[in-house]
Amino acid sequence: MRQVLTNTDFLSGVLFVALGGGFALISFNYGFGTPSEMGSGYFPRVLGFGVLIVGLVLVVKAFLRARARGDAVVAFPIRPTLLVLGSLAAFALLLRPLGLAITTLALIGVAGFATPDRKLREIAMLAIGMSVFACVVFVELLKVPLPLWPRGF
Amino acid sequence: MDIFSNLALGLSVAVTPWNILYCFMGVTLGTLIGILPGIGPIATMAMLLPATYAFEPTSALIMLAGIYYGAQYGGSTSAILLKLPGESSAVVATLDGYAMAQKGKAGLALALAAIGSFIAGTIGTLILAGFAPALAKLAVTFGAAEYFALMVLGLVAAIVLSSGPLLKSIGMLMLGLLFGLVGSDINSGVDRFTFGQPELSGGVNFVVVALGLFGISEILLNLEKREERRLVSSSLGGLWPSWRDLRQALPAMLRGSGLGAVLGILPGGGVTMSSFASYTLEKRISKHPEQFGHGAPQGLAGPESANNAAAQTSFVPLLTLGIPSNGVMAMMMSAMLIHNIQPGPQIITNSPDLFWGLIVSMWIGNLILVVLNLPLIGMWVKLLTIPYRLLFPAILLFCCIGLYSVQNSVFDVYLAIGFAVLGYVFIKLKCDPVPFLLAFILGPMLEENFRRAMLVARGDAGVFLTRPISATMLAVALALLCFAVIPQIRKSRKVAFQED
Amino acid sequence: MTKIMIACTAVTLSFAALLSSASAQDWRPSRAVDLIVPSGAGGGHDNNARILASVMEKYAGQPINVINQPAGAGVVAYNEMRNAEPDGQTVGQVSVSIVSDQFRIEGVDYNKDSYAYIGQISADQNVLVVTADGPYGDMDITQFLAAAKDAADPIAFGVSGNWTNHDYTRYQIEQAADVSFLRVPIKGGAQIVLSMLSGDVQVGALYPSEIKSQVDAGALKPLAHNGTEPLAAWPDVPSFTSLGLPVNLAIWRALVLPKETPEDIRAGWESILEQTMNDPAVKEGYATAGIGYAYLNSTDTVALVDEAETAYRTISEEAGVTREAQ
């Protein structure tokens, strides 16, 4: 049983059922229409149920072949994943209020800790270097409309 | 006037020191922004447009066009090296191009892409010069029914070019279509799956999905592999392709160029389709389709040529009909209007020097690009020798800036975090994200054209079979699907028997 | 005596000149200005903003950055303009959809009263066109409307989405001439033109700039337009109004500031815009880009906006436009 639960077929089946079912469920809010004059719900509902069915087949397949295949998922490393995603969130949170120069320091500072072979001095230097580089290349040269400094400056 | 005197006229316009300089500036800037994912050619062209007021109209157009096809070149560089596709045409380069780079053949991959693009640019220019007015007629024979059939063909291609098991590929395909439907439905004006967020009512942007699903989740995967990580960098491999490599890839480049040149003319998504179509074709006719996805040179050279040829011929609807088929062409049109040139059927007779000068400059631009890019390959490959702990935070920063600049909103950065998680889970569960991404791109066009075709035909589904172009494409799609499905079913039955 | 009087007058005059120049000059932006545009780069809205910005920089004394925010068909941009710091450093370019969005988009809570208006910057018309080699190619507008009325199967009319400008025009034509069309939604004017050329749809109501090259080439034929003045490109094409048909919904663009912007900053921007719009470079830029030149000062713009809101409210109620999912 344990083998089934960590089987990639089983888990992707569950994911498909959840996502497909979700889309299908929400699509009931939209008009279905007729094949000749389709409503906005027609395509999503048909596709949603399609994904749901594929998911169910995968789940059944996983049970039928439980013993034959040990195609198990490897563990998810939590720490680097959270740090990388956290660095992106930091960028999104800080950019508008603090501007690109400071936000870059934060992004690199957070992301830099995601590897085991990190060195504090290296991260600091990288952060400063990238901050200058980003401000010069993106804002000054390419004129991407990014706020550069904290609001009010 | 025959083609040679036309090209001679074009040469006399394009080969002046100033125009060569503008062309050079355009393609260099284009390459730079192409490498940076999310910073697209449209925003750059918009920014430079006021600066071109003072230029000669031909010079202005030469430079702006250079930004566009230069960006196509640059886009494949980051797709090959870092799996960061900044535009839909670069997605295919992340398959075998990235696989080649992982195997230490980054130099070869970049060189093949550059040479393929140059060959395609040459062929595209010749086709544009020889047949532009005739090709314009093809562009207007495509109605909603034909576009629907083309999209179906594209979806079948998405299944064919996936390396995963068939059932999962179909599931991922449908899921991609669903995500493509997020946003305002054009037929009814209803916002679908937006959860009340106005940011979503224009749909999820391609850059968000591509960077989340491919670029950022690839970083997560790389960080996982601690010890064996980036052994690639220690062996750079040969930077230059050997004659054997070139001879092997040349037929693929030629086929890709032809296919891309034809598809590029279609204003409703032809450029996007060109690289997928070429990949499918190469995999289909290859004696070793199992190598595709693991670094097959043809799987890179063909599609790269196709998207570059398509980029050239995508000027046809604008130049000969006066219809801008996408944002880039809308910018080109603005540039023409500012200089009091009305693009359209009369442009060839009214301003032949501009028309032929622009076309010849595209070939010169491609020449500059290949001369510029081949020596740079060594530098790009060295990029991979930077320790990964320093490289990935920089990549994350470029992704963030690119994501933000799509709509000047941080919403897309948050959204990309979601897609990065989704992409990571997909890879963990051995679900190939490629069909998902392709279906995501094609989904909205598929639905829109299907519904429009049905509406215009007053509900008669027979329209797809009675119109010859649409019927032919649907038949090809069906045949391709059978070719893809039958071996898979046989294989899985064999496996099932063995297990019993 | 005369000398003293002359001297006095001179002093008074120079004082007055000083005063008036001071009042026209009292507020100007202190750093680069953001001009928010509710659409992506390329296309009419963006062109309009860039032409305007390039001239306006001269009078504002600061660079003007065009910021494209296409998200949510403009809804995100309109919310951002309303919520920006009212310090005059952020200006918004709006179209008539700021008064029509509230009737058709769920969740929209801005309306004509959410902004301070600097002035109108342009006006546009919808031109009814048919394919020249199609079944209606040799008809004039009266014949076409008669044919549309008699058609057993409604004629396919391309619109760029439900209850967009094109679609409101379609509705007005239907009401005025007592006809009905098959409404075919197609993304954007360029795609509508393509659909007309490929024969999917037979008629559309588009901006002059979107159809110019095809009309010049003889592929499309303009029948009538919904403006009040003759069209610059085709002065012979009649307006619906001149035919006694009330097809006249105004389409315009204007510059706005957040509602709470102080009076002196508003006055500063009003004078910047007035100087900009009187610069011949704007007229030239508009003419080449196919944008209709029209300028109204702040007070007249408010009247224009009021009128537009009433018109769109009436027609939306009459047509049963809803904000709910359909």
Q: Test A142 with B44 for CB contact under 8 angstroms.
A: yes
Question: Which of A30, A143, A145 lies at the smallest CB-CB distance from C325?
Answer: A30
Q: B269 or C112: whose pLDDT is higher?
A: C112
Is the C-alpha dihedral spanning B398, B403, B404, B407 positive or negative?
Answer: positive
Residue B55 predicted with pLDDT over 80? yes
- Mean pLDDT across C232-241: 90
Give the pLDDT of residue C18: 45
Return the CATH architecture of domain C30-123+250-319.
3-Layer(aba) Sandwich (3.40)
Question: Which of C43, C50, C213 lies at the smallest CB-CB distance from B330?
Answer: C43
Beta strand segments in B150-215, E: 183-184, 191-192
Give the pLDDT of residue B343: 80
Give the pLDDT of residue A73: 65
Band of residue C324 on the pLDDT scale cut at 50, 70, 90: low
Which chain A residues have a beta carbon less than 8 Å from that of B420? 84-85, 88
Give the pLDDT of residue A152: 61
- Mean pLDDT across A29-36: 80
Which chain B residues have a beta carbon less than 8 Å from that of A45? none
Give the pLDDT of residue C326: 38
B294: tokens are 């693991």
Q: Render pLDDT for C282-312 as a digit per residue (tens, 0 to 9).
A: 998 888 777 889 999 999 999 999 999 998 9
Looking at the fold, whether A90 and A136 belong to one and the same domain comes out as: yes
| A45 in any annotated domain | yes
Say whether residue B394 is in contact with chain A using an 8 A CB cutoff. yes
Q: Identity (one letter) of the amino acid at C148?
A: A
Q: Which candidate, A44, A45, A49, A60, places its Cα nearest to that of A7?
A: A60
By mean pLDDT, which of B223-232, C70-79, C105-114, C126-135 is the weakest?
B223-232
Give the pLDDT of residue B489: 67
Residue B270 predicted with pLDDT over 80? no
b/e map B165-187, b = 16+ CB within 10 Å: bbbbbbbbbbbbbbbbbbbbbbb
Question: Which of C75, C193, C198 lies at the smallest CB-CB distance from B198?
Answer: C75
- Mean pLDDT across B281-305: 88
Is the C-alpha dihedral spanning C286, C291, C294, C298 positive or negative?
Answer: negative
Looking at the fold, whether A93 and A123 belong to one and the same domain comes out as: yes
Query: Domain of B359?
Result: 3-499
Residue B402 predicted with pLDDT over 80? yes
Cα B460 from Cα B287, distance rounded (Å): 42
- Mean pLDDT across C27-46: 84
* Predicted complex ipTM: 0.92
Q: Test B409 with C76 for CB contact under 8 angstroms.
A: yes
Helix, coil or strand: residue B274: helix
By mean pLDDT, which of B305-319, B409-423, C22-36 is the weakest?
C22-36
Residue C6 predicted with pLDDT over 70? no
Give the chains touching A; criterion: ≥3 Cβ pairs < 8 Å.
Answer: B, C
Looking at the fold, whether A103 and A52 belong to one and the same domain comes out as: no
Least CA distance to A40: which residue of chain C? Answer: C326
Cα B121 from Cα B369, distance rounded (Å): 10
Least CA distance to C284: which residue of chain B? Answer: B338
Tell me the nearest-neighbour CA distance from B456 into chain C, angstroms.
6
Q: Identity (one letter) of the amino acid at C181?
A: F
Q: Test A40 with C326 for CB contact under 8 angstroms.
A: yes
Band of residue C106 on the pLDDT scale cut at 50, 70, 90: confident
Mean pLDDT across chain B, nearest whole number?
Answer: 84
Question: Which of C42, C153, C191 lies at the smallest CB-CB distance from B42?
Answer: C42
Query: C-alpha B327: how far from its chain's center?
Result: 14
Q: Test B338 with C107 for CB contact under 8 angstroms.
A: no
Residue A23 predicted with pLDDT over 50? yes
Return the CATH architecture of domain C127-225.
3-Layer(aba) Sandwich (3.40)
Give the pLDDT of residue C300: 93
- Mean pLDDT across C143-157: 92
Looking at the fold, whether A85 and A137 belong to one and the same domain comes out as: yes
Say whether residue A38 is in contact with chain B using an 8 A CB cutoff. yes
Least CA distance to A124: which residue of chain B? Answer: B390
C220: tokens are 């499309």
Give the chains touching B; criterion: ≥3 Cβ pairs < 8 Å.
Answer: A, C
Q: Test B413 with A40 for CB contact under 8 angstroms.
A: no
Helix, coil or strand: residue C156: strand
b/e map B478-493, b = 16+ CB within 10 Å: eebbeebeeeeeeeee
Q: B140 or A89: whose pLDDT is higher?
A: A89
What's phi and psi for C33, nearest 5 deg? -100, 140
- Mean pLDDT across A103-117: 88
Chain A residues 114-153 within an 8 A CB cutoff of chain B? 114-118, 122-123, 126-127, 130, 134, 138, 142-146
Domain residue extents for chain C: 30-123+250-319, 127-225
**Residues of C contacting chain A (CB within 8 angstroms):** 34, 65, 67, 325-326
CB C121 within 8 A of CB C283: no
By mean pLDDT, which of A2-6, B122-126, B160-164, B272-276 is the weakest?
A2-6
Q: B161 or B22: whose pLDDT is higher?
A: B22
Give the pLDDT of residue C4: 57
Band of residue C19 on the pLDDT scale cut at 50, 70, 90: very low
Query: Domain of A98?
Result: 78-141
Band of residue B496 on the pLDDT scale cut at 50, 70, 90: very low
Give the pLDDT of residue B91: 87
Looking at the fold, whether A58 and A83 belong to one and the same domain comes out as: no
b/e map C132-151, b = 16+ CB within 10 Å: eebebeebebeebbeebeeb
Least CA distance to A133: which residue of chain B? Answer: B394
Give the pLDDT of residue B196: 80
- Mean pLDDT across C92-100: 91
Question: Which of B189, B333, B453 lies at the smallest CB-CB distance from C163?
Answer: B189
By mean pLDDT, which of A46-50, A52-56, B222-226 is the weakest?
B222-226
Residue C14 predicted with pLDDT over 80? no
The count of residues in chain A is 153
Burial class (CB in 10 A: 0-12, 13-18, 19+), B243: exposed
Chain B residues 260-289 within an 8 A CB cutoff of chain A? none
Band of residue A62 on the pLDDT scale cut at 50, 70, 90: confident
Q: Render pLDDT for B161-192 as a digit per residue (tens, 0 to 9).
A: 777 788 889 999 999 999 999 988 877 777 88
Residue C119 predicted with pLDDT over 90? yes
Residue C144 predicted with pLDDT over 90? yes
| A146 in any annotated domain | no
Residue C11 predicted with pLDDT over 80? no
Looking at the fold, whether A137 and A87 belong to one and the same domain comes out as: yes
By mean pLDDT, which of A63-67, B148-152, C318-322 is the weakest?
A63-67
Q: Render pLDDT for B203-222 as a digit per residue (tens, 0 to 9).
A: 888 889 989 998 898 888 88
Give the pLDDT of residue B174: 94
- Mean pLDDT across B287-296: 85
Q: Test B407 with C70 for CB contact under 8 angstroms.
A: yes
- Mean pLDDT across C56-85: 86
Least CA distance to A37: which residue of chain C? Answer: C184
The number of distinct structural domains making up chain A is 2
Give the pLDDT of residue C220: 92
Give the pLDDT of residue B417: 95
Mean pLDDT across chain A, nearest whole number?
Answer: 85
Least CA distance to B30: which residue of chain A? Answer: A142
- Mean pLDDT across C170-196: 89
Give the pLDDT of residue B149: 92
Residue C145 predicted with pLDDT over 80? yes
